[in-house]
């Protein structure tokens, strides 16, 4: 997904405006999809529908830490 999927591939309207060569999905988007698949696989395994959990060893992609800081006391007072 991070290398093969084309940017805006699923949205035909947006793809006309922003389509570029194979750009890949952001690691955040890939991680959301991996988490979804892992959750489904774990559910199917726990319920006995599949004999092994095929996503148990799949790891999330590395992403940068969230850099958004909390509001300072001065910023909170200023907004009142």
Specify the pTM. Answer: 0.59
Domain membership of residue 43 (yes or no) is: yes
Domain membership of residue 75 (yes or no) is: no
Domain membership of residue 54 (yes or no) is: yes
Structural domain range at position 10:
1-63
Domain membership of residue 72 (yes or no) is: no
Domain membership of residue 25 (yes or no) is: yes
Q: What is the 3-state secondary structure (H, E, C) of 12-51?
A: HHHHHHHCCCCCCCCHHHHHHHHHHHHHHHHHHHHCCCCC
Whole-number pLDDT of residue 69 = 84
Predicted confidence band of residue 15 (pLDDT cuts 50, 70, 90): very low
Domain membership of residue 6 (yes or no) is: yes
Number of domains in the chain: 1
Q: How far apart are CA 30 and CA 1, in angstroms?
A: 7
3: which DSSP letter? S
pLDDT tens for each residue of 43-71: 999 999 999 999 999 999 888 877 788 88
Q: Is 5 exposed, middle or buried (0-12, 13-18, 19+ CB in 10 A)?
A: middle
Whole-number pLDDT of residue 6 = 57
């Amino acid at each position: 997904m991070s290398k093969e999927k084309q940017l805006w591939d699923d949205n035909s309207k947006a793809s006309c405006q922003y389509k570029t060569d194979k750009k890949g999905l952001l690691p955040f988007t890939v991680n959301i999809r991996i988490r979804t698949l892992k959750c489904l696989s774990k559910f199917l395994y726990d319920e006995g529908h599949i004999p092994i959990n095929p996503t148990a060893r799949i790891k999330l992609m590395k992403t940068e830490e969230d850099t958004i800081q909390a509001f300072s006391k001065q910023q909170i007072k200023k907004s009142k």
